[in-house]
Structure 1
Amino acid sequence: MQVYLVGGAVRDQLLDHPIIDKDFVVVGATVDEMLAAGFIQVGADFPVFLHPTTQEEYALARTERKLGHGYKGFSVHASPDVTLQDDLQRRDLTINAMAIEVTSLTDDTPLIGEVIDYYGGLDDIQSKTLRHISQAFSEDPLRVLRVARFYGRYYSLGFHIAEETLILMRQLVASGELAHLSAERIWQESNRATMQSSPQVYWEQLYAIGALTDYFAPLHHAWSNVHIRETVQTALYFAGQMQLNLSQRWTLLMASLDQSLFVNPNPDIPSSSPNISIMAEDKKAALKAITSISNSAKVPKAPTQFATLFIQQASRLNTIDRLSAAEKN
């Protein structure tokens, strides 16, 4: 039996990023051996176990074969004869497919600390490139969102997406596979991406490859207006710099849907902008779109309510210094 630290922990160690979670792959072991060692299996058909003390994940080395649509349409094969190289090959990006052997199931001290790298992850760390490992990348549509999220996470370090990987991402979008993802997984990735230091990058990248149309169609439509898109992306950039919370960041994104916010923002400047009734219709449309996105992407209640309240009160916020005490209440 051999045990390896894999994936994000290795990547972030090399990038001097904080290591949030540790994941391990166990080669040469069986389910019975893991259970006998006190590990707790997660799911009856999935060879992933929780450490009895640390609750860190230990997975048996496995391969996957595409059988159906979406990220669940896979047949999983785990057995003692699956090698570390086989296991790492099924991962998404080269920088996520490196490993370091550790002492044992109960001791995660590195044996020698050497990074095992079959697919060029070390080179891509140096060149700051997000690159897929193989054509199997196209079997899992969730990887479109994951790559965009990693892009946002490491954007400030100068990372970019390899052109050949962008091609596969566009092909996945065009295939319609993203429609088979669950709303819960869409929100999980989008939530995490929105809380990165460069949240605008995730949404900008998904818009650029047409990946917003299934779950965020009103946002895709709103961002066809360059002024709205660039203004909101700038706002999201500063939201990341100021470490705003999720509801605040989500509200800035949803503000894209209210066209009236982008017309004559300064009340002191006369304008031939749309009249009050048209602006009211814009707000109604925005509120409807926020609800639509919330339903399709399973957005939690708190950020949805915050965004809704902001749209409803935005006109007052523009003139808050002129409101009476009664109006502010």
Structure 2
Amino acid sequence: MSAIVSGIGWHLVGAASAASFYAPISKVRKWSWETTWAFAGLFSWILLPWIVTSFLIDDFRSFYSVVDSKAFWGMFLFGAMWGVGNINYGLTMRYLGMSLGIGIAIGVTLVVGTLMPPILRGEFGTMLATPSGQITLVGVLVALVGIAIVTYAGHQKEKRLGTQTQDFNLKKGLCLAVMCGIFSAGFAFGLEAGRPIKAASLALGIDPLYAMLPSYGIIMGGGALVNFAYCLIRLATKPELSIRADLSQPARGLAINALLAATGGIMWYLQFFFYAWGEASIPHELSFANWMLHMSGYVFCGGLVGLLLAEWKGVGSRPVMILCGGMLVIIAAANLVGMGMAAN
């Protein structure tokens, strides 16, 4: 039971990092979003995954040579799928606003990323037939209710503060949010495809807490390819964007921007670093719950960070009470998942 509690705790630590990563990025000045995003991604998708792996593995060639090419390309392509979800994420915010966009996208990601792996493995029927699986699935449903409540609270906040997006388009936004949710679940699929790397890590004697990390460089490499291509194409084809102009600032401004973007990128990577720790603590037969814990924790920590940063100041008590209610529902969902695991 203590391992399950620590697993849920590590998922919350990772979710807190994910919910906070954009805070330093939002402080970057006089850089286009594309330059900022690409620079942050250099740390989160390329440098950190391979630096961490280099501490775990001495001989890359011999380690990865035992991985089946099907598993390798599965991880890479699912990573690229996740990268497409990242791009759609930004467009969702444009047409639905932050709260509605995040809530719908995360809700779809939670359902797809949680339920599809066991369905594809043919284990969904077994889940439905066991008390532990049934309780855990109820936890997933409760988490969706909590996300919906937090989303509604955020939408009320935006309306009261007058921050509703000027490009609001419900039909287009909903389509993009669903696409974002489906494609973003590619990371969960990539982790599933990366099971052979986890097995190879364990066979090498790597601590189970770190066994999944050598797969991240491949999964995130697929996402990096899509994101870098998008940013570079935008920078090359949009007259109002120029990487040369972004980098023509005084040295002090460049250093500050680089530090802020790098910090955001590092925090983005840390969500998955601690995800691996949480995943290592959860029983394999209930591994489908890992993605649910991460996604619901993301929304919970996002609400908490918003409160701590005084983003809800001036909205009145009702939206804040709705937010807190939704966060309590998410906590209840996490406890239900824990109960389901303990009943296994």
Larger RCO: 1 or 2 (CA < 8 Å, sep 6+): 2
In proportion to residue count, which structure has more strand?
Answer: 1
Identify whether the pair has TM-score above 0.5, normalized to the shorter chain: no
TM-score normalized with structure 1 length: 0.24
In terms of Rg, which structure is larger?
A: 1
